[in-house]
Amino acid sequence: MESFRFEVVKKCRKTGARLGRLHTARGIVHTPAFMPVGTQATVKTLTPEEVKNLGAEIILSNTYHLYLRPGLEIIEAAGGLHRFMSWEGPILTDSGGYQVFSLASLREITGDGVYFRSHLDGSPHFISPEKAMEIQAVLGSDIAMAFDECPPYPCSYEEALNAVERTTVWAERCLQVPPPPDQAVFGIVQGSVFPELRARSACALTSMGFAGYAIGGLSVGEPKNMMYEVLEYTVSLLPEEKPRYLMGVGSADCLWEGVLRGVDLFDCVLPTRIARNGTALTSWGKVVVRNAEYADDFSPVEPGCDCYTCRNFTRAYLRHLFKAGEILGHRLLTIHNLYFTLHLMSKIRQALLEDCFEERRAGFLNQVNSTK
């Protein structure tokens, strides 16, 4: 972890928002930052060069999926995940815990780890904290996540407590596995919506000295006001000098609200997933371009947007592509949605640099609310 370092460059004078730089062996990530999700070693429909040109400095890949397919032997033979997918920048890999609990069938949780059957072919597998770290070492990611248990929402206090206790024990075991020299390891704070359990989890994990801390178990179905309340409380328990990562959050309002509370890193499948369903992200909300109302609409997805899609194509053309089942429609909307999200993060960083974060946030939210 010699090459990993985080620095807070500037803090908002009125909020918890902060501007930072995350130093890794493969480059600097300017924070707050959004990580496009490349679950299976690809950001769906785009080349790595396209993702980079859209403004991404770091991406996320999934341990569970890559472990099952193509398998570690293939990725190791290719020289690691970066070479396998031809992405030169930093990569964060999640531990696979969330997918084991949400996708795998016939799973059995023990103190040692989780026995489960693959969602692909039903084959039996076992992942322990040690195994999760060994997989991520082979992948060669720049940031590896500790193996955790993410309880669903809603869940009982007892269920959340058990998840916190198991996550704590597993975090200790993860740290006992030496990572590759340039790989940083982040711990994941759990506790569902129970403040005392969030405090318990944060206290235990921060005492272990992880390189950074993720906030897991939010944006899993709870109301947004509850999410913001739990997030604000949890961030207050984390060390100032370490990066903070809010897992699975990527809508524009949540990005503003997360940064407001001091979050540095975000990831979410939202921009790419809804693009494949014919939905675009804009400054005033979502636009479903496959709807009939856009059949003869020759304006861009978002007037004033400088992305390749908006500079060259119309809503009518995009609707045609989706109705015709053409893959180009998926690609063009993915380009727009990722540009929108990454450009939004750039504007947030600029607002922090210019000491006008609160004003820009209020202006953005007012524009969204005025169109509802």
CB contact set of 363 (below 8 Å; sequence gap of 6+): none
From 14, 9, 36, 92, select the one nearest 261 (Cα to Cα). Answer: 14
Tokens at residue 355, please?
A: 């000491």
Which residue in 142, 148, 264, 267 is the catalytic one? 267
Tokens at residue 8, please?
A: 């807070």
User: d(Cα 48, Cα 73) in Å, to the nearest integer?
Assistant: 22
From 201, 194, 136, select the one nearest 165 (Cα to Cα). Answer: 201
Radius of gyration, alpha carbons of the chain: 20
Element (H, E) at 21: strand 18-24
Which residue in 94, 142, 148, 264 is the catalytic one? 94
DSSP result, 280-330? EEETTEEEETTSGGGTT--S-SSTT--SHHHHH--HHHHHHHHHTT-HHHH
User: d(Cα 46, Cα 367) in Å, to the nearest integer?
Assistant: 30
> Please, are residues 68 and 37 in contact by the beta-carbon 8 Å criterion?
no
> Please, are residues 34 and 267 in contact by the beta-carbon 8 Å criterion?
yes
Tell me whether strands 105-109 and 18-24 are parallel, antiparallel or unpaired: unpaired
Dihedral sign (CA 254, 22, 172, 106)? positive
DSSP result, 177-199? SPPPTT-EEEEEE--TT-HHHHH
Match 């997805």 to its residue by tokens: 301
DSSP result, 126-163? EE-HHHHHHHHHHHT-SEEEPP-----SS--HHHHHHH
Q: Is 94 one of the catalytic residues? A: yes
From 95, 102, 177, select the one nearest 141 (Cα to Cα). Answer: 95
Query: Which residues are known to be catalytic?
Result: 94, 267
